[in-house]
């Protein structure tokens, strides 16, 4: 078990949370650390990390694209390649794009994987938002013209 923990790993929670009683950073271990790493990988743009410029998935390039067969294939390929190169702790089994909420601007990316050291199977669902998000409410905006 100790050998598996060394390979699977332990890392900071993201975003970092601090325990007020001890002053230490909350840590994630084993499968929770892998799921957190997948979320970070899919939401990171290549070049965003200074020390790891190749790390990331670049899904942001596909934000306003129409979701046709070509785009689904490209999206799946980007995800599979990023996981292959940057997540050695898992064996990717399948990537499924659920476009049932496409009209609302959401594509659910389901990733089925197996943890190599424990042979346990998991799935991870990542929401990809095709449309730009905003909290601006135009009906309550204040006029600056006097």
**What does the mean pLDDT of the chain come to?**
81
Q: What is the DSSP string of 94-128?
A: EEEEE-TTGGGTEEEEEEEEEETTT--EEEEEEEE
* Residue 97 scores a pLDDT above 60: yes
Q: Is cis: bond before 43, omega within 30 of 0?
A: no
Output the pLDDT for position 65: 82
pLDDT tens digit string along 114-136? 998 889 999 999 988 876 555 44
Domain 2-131 has CATH 3.10.450.40: yes
Mean pLDDT of 45-54: 91
Per-residue pLDDT band at 9 (split at 50, 70, 90): low
Output the pLDDT for position 138: 46
pLDDT tens digit string along 59-79? 888 888 888 899 999 999 999
């Amino acid at each position: 078990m100790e050998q598996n923990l060394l390979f699977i790993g332990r890392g900071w929670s993201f975003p970092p949370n601090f325990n007020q009683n001890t002053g230490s950073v909350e840590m994630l271990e084993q499968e929770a650390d892998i799921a957190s790493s997948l979320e970070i990988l899919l939401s990171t743009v290549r070049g965003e990390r200074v020390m790891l410029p190749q790390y990331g998935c670049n899904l942001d390039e596909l934000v306003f694209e129409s979701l046709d067969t070509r785009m689904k294939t490209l999206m799946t390929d980007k995800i599979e390649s990023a996981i292959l190169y940057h997540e050695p702790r898992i064996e990717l089994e399948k990537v499924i794009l659920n476009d049932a909420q496409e009209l609302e601007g959401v594509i659910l990316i389901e990733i089925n994987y197996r943890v190599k050291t424990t042979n346990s199977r998991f799935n991870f669902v990542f929401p990809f938002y095709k449309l730009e998000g905003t909290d601006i409410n135009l009906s309550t905006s204040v006029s600056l013209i006097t």
